[in-house]
Chains A and B, each alone.
Chain A
Amino acid sequence: MIDFTFTEEQELFRKAAREFAETKIAPHVPMMEETNGGWDEVVKELAEAEMFAVTIPEEYGGLGMGYMGRLIALEEIARVSVATAMMYQVFGLGIEPIMKFGTEEQKKKYLPKFVTGERLPTVAVTEPSGGSDPKGARTTYKKVNDSYVLNGRKCFITNSHIADVQIVLAKDEDNPEAFTAFILEIGMDGFKPTHIEHKVGMRGCNTGEIEMKNVEVPAENVLGGEGKGLKVSMSAIGDAGRGGMVGCALGLQQACLDESIKFSNERILYGKPIGKLQAIQFKIADMKIDLEAGRLLGYRAAAIQDQGGRSSNEFAAAKYYTTEAAQRAAKMAVDIHGGYGCMEEIPVTRFLRDSYVLGPSAGTSDIMKVIVARWAVS
């Protein structure tokens, strides 16, 4: 029989992550919402709670808790703050390609510092021309002697202004079919974050643009080999990126359900709590069914990864299902709250705004369907 239960240890991870989110992250949420900032404080909390160490192998100072551990942590953080979970998930996305494709020197140089939060990574693929079609990228590199010179611009980059190690995808100026991933570091001449975005939701989650003007990158900063950039970046996004979004979506779904149950038990209509009305119960049931189904999809995909397999297709299905379900859950939560669902001091309004940022991150729902269809017919 298939065992669908979490281990005792995983239950403890969840407990630790929940305590962390409720005691260390929740107090920052109002300020993040108000200012669309506060990420430095939140990142410090994440580092102190060893969150950056979760996926990094023990030999590099990490905890080696794998995709399951990461998904548990993400779900619990997102239940309290999707904005924080989003930043955390993209740090994980930045760690992933160095773990999978980095040379031993690169791993030794970066991973121990990621563990402590001394250095913070992200991945920069998307450009104004789009993110799901990386071949349309206009950022270029040119080999000059023993190094490479990069020029271009990336947009909608999560952690753009926090991460000091950024994995940038660029195409060969002389061969538009050749793509390479480079590890860029803040401090390299010509490389800097520029514009900060103001998103409809996930306020306090840093998103912005980066600019490369004649940035000279040494050859040892090529990640995964010259010409292997698409494999490096797409593998990271397919596994860690989509997997991370599943965690963000599941946490948000749980938050919608929690708030809806709480409100429907307190709100009296026709002399009884509205939770006694079948119309409300059906919404609660829909949310719960979506959450349970999403968890099965997401945790199964994570388990496949931890057993040494690849599950980018499974994560695509889970990402589609959970982020769509999160939008449905947020809409239902707002509906259950009636007029209160329009008031900014009520958390469900935040949930609704946050839910709409889940969709396009790491690939839209339509792109996920393209991947799933390709998987189905293959």
Chain B
Amino acid sequence: MLNIIVCVKAVPDPNDADKLKIDPVTKSLPRSDISLVINPLDSHALEAALEIKRNDDAHITILCMGPPPAGNIVKECLALGADKGILLSDPAFAGADAFATAYTLAKAIEKNGAVDLIFCGMASSDGATEWVGPEIATFLNMPVVTMVNEIVENAGDEWIVKADYEHGYRKVKIKLPAVLTVTRNLNQPKALSFSGILKARKKEIITWDLKDLGVPVENVGLKGSPTIVTEMTRLESRREVEILEGSLQEKVDRLIKILKNSGVVNV
């Protein structure tokens, strides 16, 4: 049986983007009082694991680090078909950069036991560093392929995957256990089903804190983060809407004027 871990991040719901606040001290996005969704690329990572499980004997564990509300995201992953969930939640984990996040996730993976494959989304929609997957691989001394867009062969413990590379792609043979970070081109995640939600009732979610992981407090969260965010600002994007009124000729005249004034046409 393949033991698969899918790393999932709870990211701010893009529909609530206007409610996001920046912590003026840590320069991070506090997540405890905003609605959270599964990081979109992590949905593709989960779907990759589910596709394997549909054809082979596999056990999928969801691994998520976040505040207690992130437990809902783990539950949703179980409803989508994963077998077990682990939520890493402790105030000490807050403010982690990619390095501290990867360290904490790697320690949890070690604690969880045997693993054959670790799937991550290529990047998160909020941090977007693309580092967590490769750093997990480094901490666990495993090979990694980033930006995987196709699993070509997955028999035995040597897999062939296709991954985005600059303006082309590369085909890579990789020996398990390994870490794969995936792109949105890998698959189309399936929708939540009612029966999946009900099946999740019987599935286990374990919560581990700092003590459970048994790691030094200075290695996790903000304290364990070598990245220093010196400034974070909100991008102001302004959109103006003008509904053209009047006769057809008046509307056309106005449209031409707008296009000329904005430099789109030069007549």
Kindly name the residue among B75, B194, B195 whose own CB sees the greatest number of chain A CB atoms within 10 A. Answer: B194
- Shortest CB–CB separation between residue B78 and chain A, in angstroms? 10
Give the contacting residue for B194; candidates A8, A11, A65, A267; CB below 8 A.
A65
The residues in A between 40 and 94 inclusive whose CB is less than 8 angstroms from any CB of B are 49-51, 53-54, 63, 65, 69
The A117-165 residues at the B interface (CB cut-off 8 A) are none
- Chain A residue at minimal CB-CB distance from B196: A16
Shortest distance from the beta carbon of A91 to any chain B beta carbon, whole Å: 15
Known: A8-B72, A266-B241, A268-B241. A16 touches B193 (CB 8 A): yes
- Complex Cα distance A268/B242, Å? 7
Given A16-B193, A16-B197, A23-B191, A268:B76 Cβ within 8 A: no
Tell yes or no: A19 within 8 A of B by CB: yes
Q: Give Cα distance in the complex from A168 to B243, angstroms.
A: 53
Q: Chain B: how many interface residues by the 8 Å CB criterion? A: 17
Partner of B195, one of A9, A11, A20, A63: A63
Please report which residues of chain A, range 299-313, place their CB below 8 angstroms from some CB of chain B when the two chains form the complex: none
Residues of B within 8 A of A53 (CB): 194-195
- Among A12, A51, A266, the residue within 8 A (CB) of B75 is A12
A52, chain B: closest CB distance, angstroms: 11
Q: How far is the CA of A8 from the CA of B76 in the complex (A)?
A: 10
Q: B241 to chain A: which residues have CB within 8 Å?
A: 266-268
CB of B191 within 8 A of CB of A16, answer yes
- Whether A13 sits at the interface, judged by CB under 8 Å, is yes
Q: Most A CB atoms within 10 A — which of B75, B192, B193?
A: B192
Q: Is B198 part of the contact surface with A, judged by Cβ < 8 Å?
A: yes
**Residues A1-18 near B (CB distance < 8 A):** 8-9, 11-13, 15-16
Contact pick for A12, options B79, B242, B243, CB 8 Å: B79
Contact with A along B75-105 (1 / 0, CB 8 A): 1100100000000000000000000000000
Kindly list chain B residues whose C-beta atoms are within 8 Å of the C-beta of A15. Answer: 76, 192
User: B192-229 vs A: 1/0 string, CB under 8 Å?
Assistant: 11110110110000000000000000000000000000
Shortest CB-to-CB span from A254 to chain B, Å, is 14
A63 contacts B194, C-beta separation under 8 Å: yes
Q: A268-B241, A268-B242 are in contact. Are A50 and B72 (CB under 8 A)?
A: no
Distance to closest chain A CB from B71 (angstroms): 8
A54 to B193, CA, bound (A): 11
Report whether A50 and B193 are in contact in the complex, using a CB–CB cutoff of 8 Å. Answer: yes
CB closest residue in chain A, given B37: A15
Asked whether, in the complex, the Cβ of A54 is within 8 Å of the Cβ of B194, the reply is yes
A16–B192 Cα distance when bound, in Å, is 5
Partner of A50, one of B76, B195, B240, B243: B195
What separation, in Å, do the CA atoms of A229 and B184 have in the docked complex?
56
Residues of A within 8 A of B191 (CB): 16, 19-20, 23, 49
Query: Does A8 contact B192, Cβ atoms closer than 8 Å?
Result: no
Q: Is the CB of A12 within 8 A of B195?
A: no
> Residue-by-residue, is A9-43 near B (CB-CB < 8 Å gives 1, otherwise 0)?
10111011001100100000000000000000000
| A20 CA to B198 CA, complexed, in Å | 17
- Are A9 and B197 neighbours in the complex by a CB distance under 8 Å? yes
Q: Assess whether A19 is in contact with B194, with CB atoms less than 8 Å apart.
A: no
> Which B residues are in CB contact (< 8 Å) with A50?
193-195
CB<8 Å pairs between A and B, sample of 23: A9-B200, A9-B201, A12-B76, A12-B79, A12-B200, A16-B192, A16-B194, A16-B197, A19-B191, A23-B191, A49-B194, A50-B194, A50-B195, A53-B194, A53-B195, A63-B194, A65-B198, A69-B194, A266-B241, A267-B241, A267-B243, A268-B242, A268-B243
6 further A-B pairs in the complex, CB-CB below 8 A; given A12-B79, A268-B240: A11-B72, A16-B192, A23-B191, A50-B194, A50-B195, A63-B194
